[in-house]
Amino acid sequence: MQVDIEAACIGINRLAENLGLSRRTIHRILARGELPSIQIGRRRLVRLADVRQWLSGCETPTPGADVTGIGRQFVDRAAMR
């Protein structure tokens, strides 16, 4: 069961690393309720499905740029670790 949870969730450190954000910024996003999380003991995890949904809501297209699939690439990369 633990393997399934780890494949479906990501820790704050890894999420921050993959998004290129600080841990503090991730904690602020969680505190504002923008991204739901799960706390198990002292560890806070975020579901990859929630990250994908949150990232899709953050996309703002740059004129002339193709940004489709960015959230999917992140989630796929995170799930492979």
Cα dihedral 55/12/74/20 (nearest 10): 90
Q: What is the pTM of this model?
A: 0.66
Return the domain boundaries, the chain. Answer: 2-57+67-80
Going by C-alpha positions, the residue among 78, 10, 2, 16 that lies closest to residue 44 is 10
Beta carbons within 10 angstroms of residue 11's beta carbon: 15
Written as tens digits, the pLDDT of the chain (81 aa) is 455 655 689 999 999 999 999 999 999 999 999 999 999 999 999 999 999 899 888 777 666 655 555 555 565 666 666
- Quick one: fold of 2-57+67-80? Arc Repressor Mutant, subunit A (1.10.10)
With CA atoms as reference, report the closest residue to 45 among 4, 80, 20. Answer: 4
